[in-house]
Homo-oligomer: A and B are copies of this chain.
Amino acid sequence: MKQSIKSRQISRKAIHITDALLKREMELVRDTVIPYQWEALNDQVPDAQPSYCMRNFKVAGKINREKERRKGYTPPVYPTDSICVWPEDPDHLEERFYGFLFQDSDFAKWIEAVAYSLEQYPNSELEKTADNAIELVCAAQQPDGYLDTFYSINDMTKRFTNLKDNHELYCLGHLIEGAVAYYEATGKNKLLLAACRFADCVAENIGPEEGKRHGYPGHEIAEMALARLYELTGEEKYRKLGLYFIDERGKQPYYFDTEHAVKNPSASKLRYQYHQAHLPVRDQKEAVGHAVRAVYLYSGMADFARLSEDNSLKEACERLWEDIVSRKMYLTGGIGATHIGEAFSFAYDLPNHTAYAETCASIGMMFFARRMLLLEQDAKYADIMERELYNGVLSGMSLEGTSFFYVNPLEVLPEACEKDERKQHVKPVRQKWFGCACCPPNLARLITSIGSYIMTESEDTVWIHLYAGCIFTKELDKGKVIISIESGFPWDGHVRIQIEGDTDRPLTIALRIPDWGRDYQISEIEGAESKKRKGYLYLTKVWRADVFELVFPMEVRLIDADSRVRENIGKAAVMRGPIVYCMEEADNGRDLHLLRMDEQAVYDTEKKQIGTETMIAVKAQGFRQNKMEDSLYHLHMPAEYKRTELIWIPYYAWANRGEGEMQVWTRY
């Protein structure tokens, strides 16, 4: 098996999700999130700040029609110096742009989730709503392909003048993602053509050639979107543009300095860490700055490393990956340890209560991991993908799919969230929606596209990365092979894989052995050739009608952090399979800081119902320290403890039973 074997994404249409947990999540997105989001985009959610997203497209379309009708018509010019414009009187709106300047992208994220959902659950009514929305959006496109309502409504002469802050290329990226997804799902190309025309317009204005702006996005995503557009269309111009964004980034003199006429650029290197634009990407060794932007960039870099077989880019991705997962990631997969700049903090600085750990950043880590897996079939990437999915990602949404976390702390004291401004980014309960609504739609598009994460393939191999229940059909030159996975993941370690083939060609099935599941067992598979490589068990044979079973150990594990993570010294966490556990006040009473684990105790499991979902809780005997509420400071007394039962629930399910304390790391 050579390093250069390439795997590719499977077609989502070829996979059908049957997994209990993930199917339920997909259905929540279909039944609750997507309809709610559509109402939000159309300002129809009572008591919520209007989005103005679809309204902006309508206004931009109206200006277009006005121009068409009355040649020589010049629309009024509104200011473009504010990132966010909310109307003073919402009952009397002017025909101008309202909302965050990246508001257009909310439509793009919605249409992307709709597309994936339609692949699993065809729905002609939803498709019609989507088609109508696409009409509105396309009507807002300018004659030269430009499509960003913030500038087309406000002042077209200012477009492309603030790539650092004003998110035009971010909107382009999301538009491409949504358009490609909708085309792949429905075969309809109207939005795809609009996205291509916008990309063409950007390429006309930005690039290496003289007379063009030599810029790149302040908020990355266009890179991976252009890679995807290139893969779909085969158009070299999109590959070129995406790669230009990657290669131009961080070059000196900084484009952002030029763009903003910065006179004294001495602080720019530090400042542009926020945008990962402080160094050429190939020279970047540490993950820095805004965590979502960072992993979006790294995802794009991984795409182009693969598409261009660019080894230096691949090595940069590997270094940045390593820096994150070995020094800057929470146990839950959360990244971004500080809310200041929503950014990575320094190595091993992973405070539990003040964590940022944005849901979108965990989703971005899944993007990055999936792309690294396409570059190299190493289970370490899938291990993180799984950690993110079952912990830092799913925690972003309530079990009813109606409320969301932007921030995913590992410890919460509700009083501190309310009273301590240093913790006011941390919410003790999920919120209905957000002014800056990036996380809920991002969750929607991730969950609905989960099929893309379960497996990858090459001509003769199928890699199984996640043991989620599903049925995958691999078409071969002659005939096909159907792989069915049944599992009780993440609660039960038994996995049953059934493979039916009507071909004489041998096929390799590569089974990921999770880092936590090295002591697995597998039933005999007659006639299969097997070998192990980088965390995968490769089984090769001509499959006809085979069934085999894997059993992964589901013992409760106590986990320590590296001793350089200061806040976790003397503390341990509980995991079981891929699931990170936490304690909640609902089960353990108040003052979780008074609890101690008993390292020698038996850690049992029991079924527990939270909301409509049944999951596995962990329980063990531990200790509760007696309170010493004498005076604020008093002579030391040996601590006294009483025995008590400690109960842990899956981290992703926390805050589904009202407000209360929560902690992942507990003293032992």
Q: Which residues of A contact B (CB under 8 A)?
A: 325-327, 329, 331, 338, 340-341, 345-346, 349, 354, 413, 415-416, 419-422, 557-566, 569-570, 572-573, 591, 593-594, 599, 625-639, 667-668
Contacts and interface: CB of A to CB of B under 8 A. Distances in A.
Given A346-B420, A420-B349, A628-B563, A593 B569 contact: yes
A512 to B, nearest CB: 18
B413 A563 contact: no
Contacts of A569: 593-594, 625, 667
Contact of A562 (B326, B413, B565, B628): B628
Considering residues A349, A627, A632, which has the most beta carbons from chain B within 10 angstroms of its beta carbon?
Answer: A632
Contacts of A630: 562
Nearest to A339: B422
B562 A631 contact: yes
Contacts of A421: 338, 340-341
Contacts of A419: 345-346, 349
Contacts of A422: 338, 340, 354, 422
A668 B570 CA distance: 10
A362 to B, nearest CB: 16
Contacts of A416: 346, 349
B634 A560 contact: yes
A633 B349 contact: no
B628 A560 contact: yes
A201 to B, nearest CB: 38
Given A338-B421, A346-B416, A636 B560 contact: yes
12 contacts: A331-B633, A341-B421, A349-B416, A413-B566, A557-B636, A561-B632, A562-B631, A562-B632, A563-B626, A566-B593, A570-B625, A599-B636
A571 to B, nearest CB: 10
Query: Which A-B residue pairs are the 6 nearest by beta carbons?
Result: A558-B636, A346-B419, A340-B421, A566-B593, A563-B628, A563-B627
Nearest to A564: B629
A625 B415 CA distance: 33
Given A594-B563, A667-B570, A632 B420 contact: no
Nearest to A350: B632
A628 B562 CA distance: 6
A289 to B, nearest CB: 12
Contact of A559 (B341, B420, B633): B633
Contacts of A627: 563-564
A557 B638 contact: no
Nearest to A415: B346
Contacts of A633: 331, 559-562, 573
B629 A562 contact: yes
Contacts of A635: 557-560
A257 to B, nearest CB: 21
A634 B326 CA distance: 11
Contacts of A559: 633-636
A666 B639 CA distance: 14
A341 B599 CA distance: 42
B326 A420 contact: no
A345 B563 CA distance: 29
A648 to B, nearest CB: 14
Contacts of A667: 569-570
A326 to B, nearest CB: 5
A325 B340 CA distance: 32
A559 B630 CA distance: 12
Nearest to A348: B632
A375 to B, nearest CB: 22
A599 B638 contact: yes
A422 B343 CA distance: 12
A388 to B, nearest CB: 14
Contacts of A639: 570
Given A560-B633, A638-B599, A570 B570 contact: yes
Contacts of A558: 635-636
Considering residues A591, A593, A634, which has the most beta carbons from chain B within 10 angstroms of its beta carbon?
Answer: A593
A468 B536 CA distance: 74
Considering residues A340, A591, A594, A633, which has the most beta carbons from chain B within 10 angstroms of its beta carbon?
Answer: A633
A632 B570 contact: no
A638 B572 CA distance: 10
Nearest to A570: B667
Contacts of A562: 628-634
